[in-house]
Amino acid sequence: MSEEAPNLRLKRFGKWKWTDLVLYADEHLVAVNKPLGISTLAERWTDERNLSDIARAHDDHLRPVHRLDKYTTGVLIFARTPEAFRNLALQFQRRKVHKEYLALVKGNWEFDGFEVDAPIAQGAKGQVRVDLQEGKPSLTRLFTQQQWRDYTLLRAEPITGRSHQIRVHLSYIHCPVVGDHLYGGEDLYVSGLKRRGYQRHWEDPERPLNTEYVLHCHRLGLHHPADGRLLTLEAPLSANLLVCLRQLDKYNALS
């Protein structure tokens, strides 16, 4: 894969306005559908724009309650008041928030509540690892959503909230997320799906169907910070995921 491909393809997915991202809003909180390729918070090693700064430019009171990694898409919650922030942050801290992610992985996997119970420790350069001696307790439940001949769409429910938890847990059980090069995931190519009759110009390098890794925060369930009612927030499937699913349906469907 060429080094330029991800940046070129990210431009295709990057045409949006803040108002286009909003899934739910009231006087206490705002839930948005986080786009691909933008960090939740400012990063020390870059001056690229981040979603928190864009949110505050729209409404100076907005503050992210949790975070999603740069290439993870889906539901992200901002608080509008200090009281809402404290309430929601405690829900995350006390594991009261029900989280559902969709992850595309290579291989045909049959999971129905399979638990990956493996402690995670911080490694070098932002990478984390399973460390049975020094790691912090980490638990992820896995469910099969859809299968193809060579790939599976999983629903991952992280019970704890460690950095990179789903990605490192899937790598640990040998089914890393598609495109997750940091943890051993491979890109998805049409040529790998359409083995017969695939033709391309050799002077034009083939680009992967995925842009970076394919991980999407599809649904969060929590209690509203003001009145305690159950609030279920759902983000539509990302373009990054949909592109892959359509080609899998076309070329890799089960007989």
> Mind giving me the DSSP string for 156-187?
EEESS--TTHHHHHHHHTT-PBTT-GGGTPPP
Q: Write down the H helix ranges in the chain.
A: 5-13, 18-21, 51-58, 82-93, 165-172, 190-193, 239-251
> Could you count the other beta carbons within 10 Å of the beta carbon of residue 237?
14
Set 69, 131, 150, 187: catalytic member? 69
Q: Which residue has tokens 């009231």?
A: 26
Q: Helix 239-251 vs helix 5-13: angle between axes, to the nearest 10 degrees?
A: 110
Residue 200 in this model has a pLDDT that exceeds 80? no
Residue pair 120/109 in contact by the 8 Å Cβ criterion: no
User: What pLDDT does residue 4 have?
Assistant: 35
Residue 119 in this model has a pLDDT that exceeds 50? yes
Instruction: Flag whether the pTM goes above 0.95.
Output: no
User: What pLDDT does residue 126 have?
Assistant: 75
User: What pLDDT does residue 179 have?
Assistant: 98
- pLDDT (tens digit, 9 = 90+) per residue, 123-168? 877 789 999 999 999 999 999 999 999 999 999 999 999 999 999 9
Active site residue 150: no
Answer with the residue of higher pLDDT: 201 or 231: 231
For residues 36 and 40, what is the distance between their CA atoms, to the nearest angstrom?
A: 11
1 confidence band (pLDDT: 50, 70, 90): very low
Answer with the residue of higher pLDDT: 10 or 223: 223
Q: Give all domains of the chain, ordered by start, each with its CATH number.
A: 5-251 (3.30.2350.10)
Residues 6+ apart with CB under 8 A from 209: 187, 188, 189, 190, 243, 244, 247
User: What pLDDT does residue 182 have?
Assistant: 95
Angle CA 234–172–41, to nearest 5: 45
Span 182-209, average pLDDT: 82
User: What pLDDT does residue 196 have?
Assistant: 62
Please list, residue by residue across 133-159, b when 16 or more beta carbons sit within 10 angstroms of its beta carbon and e when fewer do: eebeebbbbbeebebbeebbbbbbbbe
- pLDDT (tens digit, 9 = 90+) per residue, 43-61? 766 667 899 999 999 999 9
Residue 110 in this model has a pLDDT that exceeds 60? yes
